[in-house]
Amino acid sequence: MYRKIVFPVDLTHIDQLARALQTAIDLALHYKAEICFLGVTGTAPSAIARTPHDYENKLAAFASEQGLAHGLTTSFKACLSHDPTIDTDKTLLAAIEELGGDLVVMQTHAPQALDYVWAGHGDTIAARSQASVFLVR
């Protein structure tokens, strides 16, 4: 049913992605699907990487670790954004389409008051992506 699962990942909060990651792994194993780990980074140094190339290497290592640990086919795509705080949704949507993902698995949080004013990334991806979207709390 699914052949490519796209898993948007924020490497600075990897410890908070356990439930969504396990969901993506379970689905990939069940459907014998690939998981593509998708990350967005800026050009400025961040807490996780000093350069976009450094970020790409860390995302590649994470994808490889997951593939080896769970016997999965994995890939990765690091997207560069001039302003990730504003462009993340647009960048994710474009990458999901480019990758040909047919399922997106994302971590989300319980709705808070501001979410009714500004939608979270998961809300936006679910509303605008052509792929099926599985939001995990």
pLDDT tens for 95-115 read 999 999 999 999 985 455 444
From residue 21, alpha-carbon distances to 50, 78, 80, 96, 106 in Å are 25, 18, 23, 17, 8
Span 4-136: which CATH code? Answer: 3.40.50.620
DSSP secondary-structure letter at 33?
Answer: -
pLDDT surpassing 80 at residue 56: yes
* Residue 120 CA to its chain's centroid (Å): 14
pTM over 0.85: yes
Which string of DSSP letters, residue by residue, matches 20-31?
A: HHHHHHHHHHHH
Domain ranges of the chain: 4-136
Residue 120's pLDDT band, with cuts at 50, 70 and 90, is low
Q: Which pLDDT score, from 0 to 100, does residue 121 have? A: 67
Q: Is the alpha carbon torsion for 90, 91, 94, 97 positive or negative?
A: negative
Other Cβ atoms closer than 10 A to 105? 26
% of residues, the chain, pLDDT over 90: 69
